[in-house]
Structure 1
Amino acid sequence: MTLRGRLTAAFLAVVLGPVLLGAFFVGSTLAALDRGRSTERLGLAATGVRTSVDALCQQLRAAADAVALVTDPAARARAADQVVGRNLAAAVLITDPAGRTSYATPGGPATPWQDCAGAPAAGGPVRALAARVHLRDAAGADLGTVAAAQPVDPAFVARLAAVTGVAVTLLDATAGTDRVTHTTETRGVREAVLAAGRALDGDQVAETADGRYVRRVGPAPGQPLPLVLSVPGELPPGLYAALVGAVVVAALLAVVAAWRLARVTTRPLVELAGAVDQVAHGDLTARVPVRSRDEIGRLAGAFNRMTRETGSYVAALTSSRDQLRGHLAVLGDTLASTHDLQRILRVILHSAIAATGARAGAVLLLDGDGVLVGRCVEGLDGRRPGDDGSDPATLRVPVGAGVIGTVAATGEPLRGRWEPTAAPAAEPICETYIAVPFAAPGSADLAGRGPDRPGHPPADGDASPAGSGALGVLALYDRVGAAEFDDDDLVTLRTFAGHAAVAVENVRVHEEAQRLSLTDPLTGLWNYRYLRESIRREVERANRFGRMLSVLALDLDRFKDVNDTWGHTAGDAVLVEFARRVRGEIREVDLAFRQGGEEFVVLLPETDARGATIVAERLGAVVRDHPVPVDGHAGEPVRVPVTVSIGIAVYPDHAATGQQVLDVADEALYAAKAAGRDGYRIAQPPDPTPAQEVPVVAAAVSPADGQPRAGAPDTAGAGQGGASSGPHPPRQSRGR
């Protein structure tokens, strides 16, 4: 096929395709709109039917209640006649407890009547709706029933049609028939509506061949009438014929236009094709002669400019590629060699700025309060009022506020331009911006933080405000040499945001692994490995500042009986609950550990023996007074009584090293066990050693604070030594 033929076919495809799609779209849209509006009308009509039937049932129930309130039988009959006379009901039927008729108003519809509150009739036409109430004497004995009824006749169906604005058909509920009892449909469409209604179930809507829409309503509790509602469609006749005619006319016009355009365009396009072929083979010096100033001429001129600029871009891209390779190499080395999140984010931000040509940028991570906090910034000096850009943390943006907050809240990147006065107050002042979110799946805290403080792992149920994934935003500002950031910059920034997500997740996983290595997986308390490190650190601190350190050694009494009686699962539940109660009874600075099995240790910094006994009494009471609920053998919950024995030792009163104070506390625990369990014992002070005289330098002086130092003699300056003899003065302690 020649070039002209191909262009003609292409123009026809371009023109006729949208025309055909548009015609199909218009036809289908109008049909959908017609069906939607008709469905909506039928829905409103169904609601109106239910409301009308419910209102009628409420009226009948009120009429029956009015008759039932009359205690005298003769007066009750007169009340029934008055209800009928006031048109509150068409008939009233009074029956005795055996179901025999005591009184019936004359002229009522034939029985049986369909009860408003009863199940729909199993078969047969519905002749009347009735509301029944029970008659009872003052003692509550059953005296029978009062039923108020209203006939379901053509007039009733006509009133429903008038209220709802649609055609209403009442069916005979006899099984397998669905015959028409009363209807407001015209004879010509009755059979089509009935056939469509038979196939419906629930609130479905069907369309008949003549363009009517049908919906079945009931029978159902509260609306026992089997009804079919229908409305005519609103599409004008001949619509599809008009659409076909419009498509044919558009096709003829498209053929003429395509032939003309192909003829005019062929010659310049041949020259353009030759130049394109040269460029495809790498010759960026190829040019197309510009023979006119029409679209083809402008295309030729644009092609010539494109080849010139392409040559410049190739050179620039080659240089940028080399720079980007260098940045990516540095980024890869950094990610692989360090867990320093600040350093990683700084390398990512610098690489992103260099790759996109931005003047400034920032990496913000979500903190526990739902605020995006700057973790690394570059080039933001003076871009925010009152901020010199030296501290990244001063950049704080609430989630949902401004551009950065919106990106974090929606998870969608944003780029664009700010007017000079339109920049949000919490964000840097700039002209153009681009911001991309990043999330590290599974991260509970964006900054990869561990516990809030040593010795207190997060309690069960703690949740980071960041939700189930770490969240942050990488934002750049003011691209150099361009009006705004483009799609290529967005793709590049997404890549670096992905690196940031990986970095955050790696740091989080690393810190989480460190935390798990120091905690007990069952109770969440610190483990024995961390106990050894903590007791050493706390003893050094107490020694340095002349303070006391109390150690509680705890052991659950007869814990083996719990496992043997209720199973190890119940035993684990008891241990978890005991750990929770321990955490609830100690201070923020105290540390709780699971030493192994049912043995636990609590460190109480700056606490003397009296404070430790208060804590021990409180722990014993909270365990003793509240049995632990566990699952029993038959699945029934049981409450297991638990008690705890506690040994107390104080540094430096009872021992001189961390291991010794642990051993002494353990010995006190054994003493508490031997004394009958469910109590505590304080360790015995060590045997006094014979006093020895220590020579004192004449120039020695007391420390500046006048307090002795625990575990070491008092000293006063370099080169001076000595110790004071006699008892130590009372140490500062915090009562518990």
Structure 2
Amino acid sequence: QDCAGAPATPIGALSAQVRLRDPAGADLGAVAAAQPVDRAFVARLAAVTGVAVTLLDAPGQITHTTEDQGVRAAVLAAAGKARGNGVAGTGDGRYVRRVGPMPGQPLPLVLSIPGERPPGLYGALIAAVALAALLAVLTAWRLARVTTRPLGELAGAVDRVAQGDLSARVPVRSRDEIGRLASAFNRMARETGSYVAALTSSRDQLRNHLAVLGDTLASTHDLQRILRVILDSAIAATGARAGAVLLVDAEGVLVGRCVEGLTGRWPTSDPADPATLRVAVGAGVLGAVAATGEPLRGRWTPPDAPTGEPSCETYVAVPFATPGGAESRGPDRPGHPPADGDPPGSACAALGVLVLYDRLGGPEFHDDDVVTLRTFAGHAAVAVENVRVHEEAQRLSLTDPLTGLWNYRYLRESIRREVERANRFGRMLSVLALDLDRFKRVNDTWGHAAGDAVLVEFARRVRGVIREVDLAFRQGGEEFVVLLPETDARGATIVAERLGAVVRDQPVTVEGSTDEPVHVPVTVSIGIAVYPDHAADGQQVLDAADDALYAAKAAGRDGYRLAPAPDPVPTQEIPVVAVTVSPPDGLPRAGTADAPGTVQGGASSGPHPPRQSRGR
């Protein structure tokens, strides 16, 4: 029975209910306290008040009582005669009073005391009943308060956490359900704080690595340095133990460019050289990533056949391709879509692969690691493309676009460098100035396209004669220069003879006006100067070779002349015995050729900037 209501049925228990609300006024629930109304409860009331207590179920019907059996009927009869809260007496002198039900006290009670007791006991009886009712209410309130306070503190702590204060904690005052709830909340707050701190640290670390990467990309075109920064940043951001960056070469093979932490995992015997890490595109995990352009991650399974990949427990590999796509590519342009006419199997979807091995603090790499690596792979793709574009721009700025030889700009830089080297080591430097004879007649007779074809073929033959260390340049028009480091006058004349022979002995085949091949006879005049025999600096030795070239032209063309010594000595041609046997050094003499269309001599040489033709 609710203590605040009137009894409608026989009372079995007393209860009180309190609604719980948080500081914002939201309803959190209710707490109820109850006291069974039984024989023990009635006995306690009698003991507290010092009077006999009878609980009625209905008028004249006793539920529980502490009266003796012999006086119960008399007490009930007296209670029936009492009006309201009045007092009645029994025949044996007992005083009987009927109490309740009333607001706050819903029990219909009959109280009695022996007649010989002092009248002051009536007040004590009333006070005891009132006190009992008050104690019941206070007990219910206390129970509700004990429950409400921790819940309110918990609600406040939840609000603080929601506002970002992860240091909020709830006092744990008991080991009951409320205490366990508070402990669980405190543990959750600690774990959340640790997780947020780890995320913040990881974010800051990633920002720092990206900043370093951005600074590196902005400050250098050193591809090796850029790839090293990318690899180190990716390892730090994902917590990997090892990793590698591989680029696809022109042969369709992934070649290692930089590695980290692969000691003991290396597939070859030389872990110090990243280039020994070679994986064919399409083979193994790395080859599959390069071929498909899709990232892969998982646990390592040894392949049936060796693929050249490092061994590991877990891995994650992502490709990096040219950003924005490209118009077409051949086998030498990995990372671009295949173009029509490419040979089968030449397609490659990536410029390279960024791969990491064996994650720290976890059994496998996650999808988040793939996303992170894609970011670094994007930077790597941009870096590789930028470096290649930069290198190509540098090459174009230093080469002649028609012949592929170095141009005049690079000639000035190279002559300065080679003169300094000759001075430092006490060596000689020979310079050949070459000019195609009557080249204007070629343009006038067969057209400028034929003239261009002659220049291209002449450059090819020059590259075929000189050594790997020699440098060939197109100054402009039909004028060329060849630098021969560590070569004296005798060696330079031998090279000049070979150049004259290889140009003279086989005409250049060009397209004629009737679309039939035309064989154009070509000869070359050559001037020779040697540093330091003929000049004191680079420009002077170039001028001396140019003057010797004029002398060769004046002598009838198709020959060479050696520059005169610094003291006035007439320019003269070095006599060479006209024999078919090569000199002791094994170099062939002028006018000799192995076979039609073949060229004696060394490796190809690069190009640099031209001077204006003098129309010789």
User: Per the shorter chain, which TM-score range?
Assistant: 0.5 to 0.7
Residue in 2 aligned with 1:549? 429
Q: For residue 393 of structure 1, report the CA deviation from its aligned partner.
A: 4.3
- Structure 2 Cα separation of the partners of residues 682 and 466 of structure 1: 51
**Cα–Cα, structure 1 residues 649 and 444, in superposed 2: closer, same or farther, change >3 Å?**
farther
Residue in 1 aligned with 2:238? 356
Residue in 1 aligned with 2:49? none
Contact 1:590 1:605 survives alignment (8 Å) = yes
Per-residue CA deviations over 1:190-220 (Å, capped at 9, x if unaligned) read xxxxxxxxxxxxxxxxxxxxxxxxxxxxxxx
Within a 5 Å distance, the mapping from 1:620-659 to structure 2 comes to 620-659=500-539
**Cα–Cα, structure 1 residues 363 and 446, in superposed 2: closer, same or farther, change >3 Å?**
farther
1:341 aligns with 2:223: yes
Contact 2:432 2:481 survives alignment (8 Å) = yes
- Structure 2 Cα separation of the partners of residues 468 and 474 of structure 1: 15
Q: For residue 594 of structure 1, report the CA deviation from its aligned partner.
A: 0.6
Within a 5 Å distance, the mapping from 1:425-444 to structure 2 comes to 426-440=308-322
Within a 5 Å distance, the mapping from 1:168-207 to structure 2 comes to none
Per-residue CA deviations over 1:11-55 (Å, capped at 9, x if unaligned) read xxxxxxxxxxxxxxxxxxxxxxxxxxxxxxxxxxxxxxxxxxxxx
Contact 1:548 1:733 survives alignment (8 Å) = no
Q: SS at 2:556's partner residue?
A: coil
Q: For residue 523 of structure 1, report the CA deviation from its aligned partner.
A: 0.9
Within a 5 Å distance, the mapping from 1:210-225 to structure 2 comes to none
Q: TM-score, normalised by structure 2?
A: 0.54
- Structure 2 Cα separation of the partners of residues 438 and 656 of structure 1: 52
Q: TM-score, normalised by structure 1?
A: 0.46
- Structure 2 Cα separation of the partners of residues 421 and 562 of structure 1: 63
Residue in 2 aligned with 1:594? 474
Which one of the candidate residues 484, 490, 495 is aligned to 2:364?
484
- Structure 2 Cα separation of the partners of residues 443 and 344 of structure 1: 26
Q: For residue 530 of structure 1, report the CA deviation from its aligned partner.
A: 1.2
Which amino acid in the other structure matches residue 319 of structure 2? P
- Structure 1 Cα separation of the partners of residues 282 and 245 of structure 2: 17
Give the stretch that moved more between structures: 404-413 or 560-569: 404-413
Which amino acid in the other structure matches residue 431 of structure 1? E
- Structure 2 Cα separation of the partners of residues 424 and 379 of structure 1: 21
**Cα–Cα, structure 1 residues 283 and 670, in superposed 2: closer, same or farther, change >3 Å?**
closer
Contact 1:607 1:735 survives alignment (8 Å) = no
Within a 5 Å distance, the mapping from 1:688-707 to structure 2 comes to none
Which one of the candidate residues 328, 332, 342 is aligned to 2:210?
328
Contact 1:432 1:477 survives alignment (8 Å) = yes
Q: For residue 424 of structure 1, report the CA deviation from its aligned partner.
A: 5.4
Within a 5 Å distance, the mapping from 1:385-464 to structure 2 comes to 392-419=274-301, 426-440=308-322
Which amino acid in the other structure matches residue 653 of structure 1? D
Q: SS at 2:522's partner residue?
A: coil
- Structure 2 Cα separation of the partners of residues 564 and 491 of structure 1: 64
Within a 5 Å distance, the mapping from 1:537-576 to structure 2 comes to 537-576=417-456
Contact 1:608 1:733 survives alignment (8 Å) = no
Q: For residue 373 of structure 1, report the CA deviation from its aligned partner.
A: 3.4
Q: For residue 307 of structure 1, report the CA deviation from its aligned partner.
A: 12
1:580 aligns with 2:460: yes
**Cα–Cα, structure 1 residues 625 and 365, in superposed 2: closer, same or farther, change >3 Å?**
same
Contact 1:437 1:474 survives alignment (8 Å) = yes
**Cα–Cα, structure 1 residues 645 and 425, in superposed 2: closer, same or farther, change >3 Å?**
closer
Q: For residue 409 of structure 1, report the CA deviation from its aligned partner.
A: 4.1
**Cα–Cα, structure 1 residues 423 and 556, in superposed 2: closer, same or farther, change >3 Å?**
closer
Q: For residue 402 of structure 1, report the CA deviation from its aligned partner.
A: 3.3
Contact 2:313 2:357 survives alignment (8 Å) = yes
**Cα–Cα, structure 1 residues 519 and 505, in superposed 2: closer, same or farther, change >3 Å?**
same
Contact 1:550 1:608 survives alignment (8 Å) = yes
Which consecutive residues of structure 1, in runs of 5 or more, have no partner in the other structure?
A: 1-277, 286-304, 448-462, 690-731
Contact 2:254 2:279 survives alignment (8 Å) = yes
Which amino acid in the other structure matches residue 552 of structure 1? L
Q: SS at 2:363's partner residue?
A: coil
Residue in 2 aligned with 1:289? none
Q: For residue 516 of structure 1, report the CA deviation from its aligned partner.
A: 1.7
**Cα–Cα, structure 1 residues 468 and 540, in superposed 2: closer, same or farther, change >3 Å?**
farther
Q: SS at 1:517's partner residue?
A: helix
Contact 1:363 1:472 survives alignment (8 Å) = yes
Which one of the candidate residues 665, 676, 696 is aligned to 2:556?
676
Contact 1:551 1:650 survives alignment (8 Å) = yes
Q: For residue 569 of structure 1, report the CA deviation from its aligned partner.
A: 2.3
**Cα–Cα, structure 1 residues 507 and 469, in superposed 2: closer, same or farther, change >3 Å?**
farther
Percent identity, aligned pairs only, is: 82
Give the stretch that moved more between structures: 360-369 or 475-484: 360-369
- Structure 1 Cα separation of the partners of residues 257 and 444 of structure 2: 54
Q: For residue 527 of structure 1, report the CA deviation from its aligned partner.
A: 1.0
- Structure 2 Cα separation of the partners of residues 467 and 385 of structure 1: 26
- Structure 2 Cα separation of the partners of residues 391 and 400 of structure 1: 23
Contact 2:292 2:348 survives alignment (8 Å) = no
**Cα–Cα, structure 1 residues 309 and 611, in superposed 2: closer, same or farther, change >3 Å?**
same
**Cα–Cα, structure 1 residues 519 and 608, in superposed 2: closer, same or farther, change >3 Å?**
same
Per-residue CA deviations over 1:601-648 (Å, capped at 9, x if unaligned) read 111223333332222222222222322223334444422222211112
Contact 1:547 1:733 survives alignment (8 Å) = no
- Structure 1 Cα separation of the partners of residues 315 and 309 of structure 2: 11
Q: Whose Rg is larger?
A: 2
Which amino acid in the other structure matches residue 233 of structure 2? S
> Pairwise CA RMSD of aligned residues?
4.0
**Cα–Cα, structure 1 residues 627 and 423, in superposed 2: closer, same or farther, change >3 Å?**
closer
Q: For residue 374 of structure 1, report the CA deviation from its aligned partner.
A: 2.9
Residue in 2 aligned with 1:618? 498
Q: For residue 554 of structure 1, report the CA deviation from its aligned partner.
A: 0.7
Q: For residue 683 of structure 1, report the CA deviation from its aligned partner.
A: 1.9
Which amino acid in the other structure matches residue 580 of structure 1? R
**Cα–Cα, structure 1 residues 466 and 666, in superposed 2: closer, same or farther, change >3 Å?**
farther
Which one of the candidate residues 515, 522, 531 is aligned to 2:411?
531
Which amino acid in the other structure matches residue 373 of structure 1? V
Residue in 2 aligned with 1:662? 542
Residue in 2 aligned with 1:497? 377
Q: For residue 572 of structure 1, report the CA deviation from its aligned partner.
A: 1.6
**Cα–Cα, structure 1 residues 547 and 314, in superposed 2: closer, same or farther, change >3 Å?**
closer
**Cα–Cα, structure 1 residues 307 and 422, in superposed 2: closer, same or farther, change >3 Å?**
farther
Contact 1:606 1:733 survives alignment (8 Å) = no
Per-residue CA deviations over 1:438-480 (Å, capped at 9, x if unaligned) read 2336799799xxxxxxxxxxxxxxx9x9989972210011123
Q: For residue 667 of structure 1, report the CA deviation from its aligned partner.
A: 1.1
Which amino acid in the other structure matches residue 347 of structure 1? V
Contact 2:277 2:308 survives alignment (8 Å) = yes
Contact 2:419 2:429 survives alignment (8 Å) = yes
Per-residue CA deviations over 1:655-712 (Å, capped at 9, x if unaligned) read 33222221111111111111111222222222179xxxxxxxxxxxxxxxxxxxxxxx
Q: For residue 306 of structure 1, report the CA deviation from its aligned partner.
A: 12
**Cα–Cα, structure 1 residues 322 and 643, in superposed 2: closer, same or farther, change >3 Å?**
same
**Cα–Cα, structure 1 residues 513 and 733, in superposed 2: closer, same or farther, change >3 Å?**
farther
Contact 1:664 1:683 survives alignment (8 Å) = yes
Residue in 2 aligned with 1:379? 261
